[in-house]
Amino acid sequence: MALEHALLVSLTERAGSGYELARRFDKSIGYFWSATHQQIYRVLKRMEESGWVDGETVIQEGRPDKKVYSVSETGRAELARWIAEPSDSATPRNELAVKIRAAAYGDITALRAEVARHRDQHAQRLELYRHIEKHDFPAPERLAGTALHQYLVLRAGIRVEAGFVEWCDEVLQALHPRATAPHADGERRPAP
């Protein structure tokens, strides 16, 4: 997926300026696809040049003028083409998993601290997603259209974060200082 497609999705939900889009992006699609504000502005310019979005200058009193973007027919056609295109299902990279795989060659205490840090971050994100679910989607059985689609993506985020927290708990338990593990030479020794 290119950033262009994530921006097209956001703009189909609501037109906005680059600044408004960047702020919305940080609070929604940004949980699943990251981009800096500068990247968003550069890509919006490129999308306008390609005819995917239309920009309308809005004059503001006491502030600089702003440009409000909306998706053009060409942009809607591109979005429909992209949605129909097969998505890459490659396994995402997970540096923490590689570190755990190499645990026998490092400091287990430091690794446990790193796993705990990741666990805490994912638990915070899970709590945020559950708050969004409760606040924004109190009756999911009545959802349809865009609201249903947003809810389904949120549910995926909840499941991913819950699974990651559970996995981190499992790793922390398995790497507990009293646990034993095979050393690089195959001999079992108490963990440091």
For 91-142, write each residue's pLDDT tens digit: 777 899 999 999 999 999 999 999 999 999 999 999 999 999 999 999 999 9
Residue 14 CB partners (closer than 8 Å, separation 6+): 24
Q: How does residue 192 score in pLDDT terms, banded at 50, 70 and 90?
A: very low
Torsion of the alpha carbons at 1, 54, 29 and 26, rounded to the nearest 10: 130
**Contact present, 116 and 96 (Cβ < 8 Å):** no
Q: How does residue 12 score in pLDDT terms, banded at 50, 70 and 90?
A: very high
**Contact present, 118 and 154 (Cβ < 8 Å):** no
Q: Which of 14-28, 56-70, 141-155, 173-187 has the lowest mean pLDDT?
A: 173-187
The mean predicted confidence, pLDDT, of the chain is 89
Q: Where are the beta strands (DSSP E) in 10-151?
A: 16-17, 53-58, 66-71
Predicted local confidence at residue 184, as pLDDT: 53
Report the distance separating Cα 159 and Cα 147, nearest Å.
18
Using DSSP bridges, classify how beta strands 16-17 and 66-71 pair: parallel, antiparallel or unpaired: antiparallel
pTM above threshold 0.85: no
Look up residue 23 and give its two tokens.
């702020």
List the one residue out of 118, 75, 77 whose CA is nearest residue 97.
118
Q: How does residue 168 score in pLDDT terms, banded at 50, 70 and 90?
A: very high
Q: How does residue 23 score in pLDDT terms, banded at 50, 70 and 90?
A: confident
Residue type (1 letter), 25: F
Q: How does residue 15 score in pLDDT terms, banded at 50, 70 and 90?
A: very high
